[in-house]
Amino acid sequence: MPTISLKVNGKAVSAEVEGRTLLVELLREKLGLTGTHIGCDTSQCGACVVHVNGDSVKSCTMLALQADGAEVTTIEGLAAADGTLHPMQAMFREHHALQCGYCTPGMVMSAIDIVQKHPEGLSEEQIREELEGNLCRCTGYHNIVKAIAAAFPLMHQKHAA
């Protein structure tokens, strides 16, 4: 089996994988990072979203081998070492943007990418459109949209500083 090396949440890791091993399987099964979830088999629900080299991707639709040499960030890599939540995590909590928690890791990873890619600002309608790749069955999205809007100034303020 081929071996790959990559950086996950800032740490160098290597693992043996099959050709068919998906990135999400590498994360969950080989690296024990079970925060990234699998909610479908047709690349639609977004429960598995992680960042690869700074872009949000569906880790169920990427071979582990394609991530060889990449930098991957998962939900486990967001909070500071002292446990301080990323502003997006904090706003999800503040605005009750999660219920069962299953879609949440992917939703948060997508949300961060959305805010980062739109420094010019985001309307509520845009946030809803940008969330096309993530399904939530619990919240009706109302509070997710609110949380993302609330995280926006916090994230861009931080970048400006």
Partner 1 sequence: MAFEGIGASVKRREDGRFLAGRGHYVDDMNRPGQVYAAIRRSDRPHARIKSIDSSAAAAAPGVIAVYTGADMAADGIGGLPCGWQIHNKDGSPMAEPMHPVLATGKVRHVGDPIAVVIAETKAQAKDAAELLVIDFEDLPGVADIRAASAPGAPLVHDEVAGNVCYDWHIGDKGAVDAAFARAKHVVKLDLVNNRLIPNAMEPRAALGECDVSGHYTLSTTSQNPHVIRLLMGAFVLHIPEHKLRIIAPDVGGGFGSKIYHYAEEAIVTWAAGKLRRPVKWTAERSESFMSDAHGRDHVSHAEMAVDEEGHFLALRVSTLANMGAYLSTFAPSVPTYLYATLLAGVYKTPAIYAEVKAIFTNTVPVDAYRGAGRPEAAFLLERLVDVVAQETGIDRVELRRKNFIPADAYPYQTPVALQYDSGNHEMTLAEALKAADYAGFPARRAEAARRGKLRGIGISTYLEACGIAPSHVAGALGARAGLYEVANIRVHPTGSVTVFTGAHSHGQGHETTFAQLVADQLGVPFDQVDVVHGDTGEIPFGMGTYGSRSLAVGGSAMVKAMDKIIAKGKRIAAHLMEASVEDIEFKDGAFRVAGTDKAKALAEISLAAYVPHNYPIEELEPGLEETAFYDPKNFTYPGGCHVCEVEIDPETGVTKVVNFVAVDDVGRVINPMIVEGQVQGGVAQGIGQALLEGAAYDANGQLLSGSFMDYTMPRADNLPNITVGTEITLCTHNPLGSKGCGEVGAIGSPPAVINAVVDALKDYGVRHIDMPATPEKIWSIIAANRPKMAAE
Partner 2 sequence: MYDFAYQKPASVADAVKLLAGDAEAKLLAGGQTFIPVLKQRLNKPSAVIDLAGLKLSGISVSANSVTIGAMTTHATVARSAEVKKAIPGLAMLASWIGDNQVRHRGTIGGSLANNDPSACYPAAVLALGAVIKTNKRAIKADDFFQGMFTTALEPDEIITAVEFPLPVEKSAYEKFRQPASRYAMVGVFVAKGPAGVRVAVTGAGQNGVFRVPEMEAALAKSWSPDAIAGVKVSPEGLNSDIHGSAAYRAHLITVMAKRAVAAA
Give every CB contact of residue 48 below 8 A, 6+ residues apart in sequence: 24, 36, 37, 38, 39, 58, 59, 60, 106
Q: Does 118 bind partner 1 (CB under 8 A)?
A: no
Q: Does 129 bind partner 1 (CB under 8 A)?
A: yes
Within residues 32-61, the interface with partner 2 by CB under 8 A covers: 41-44, 46, 49, 52, 55-58, 60-61
Site string for partner 1, 32-71 (x = CB under 8 A): -xxxxxxxxxx-xx-x------------------------
Give every CB contact of residue 65 below 8 A, 6+ residues apart in sequence: 2, 4, 17, 19, 21
Site string for partner 2, 62-91 (x = CB under 8 A): xx-xx-------------------------
Q: How many CA atoms lie within 13 A of 80 on its CB side?
A: 6
Contact of residue 99 among partner 1, partner 2, none (CB under 5-8 Å per partner type): partner 1
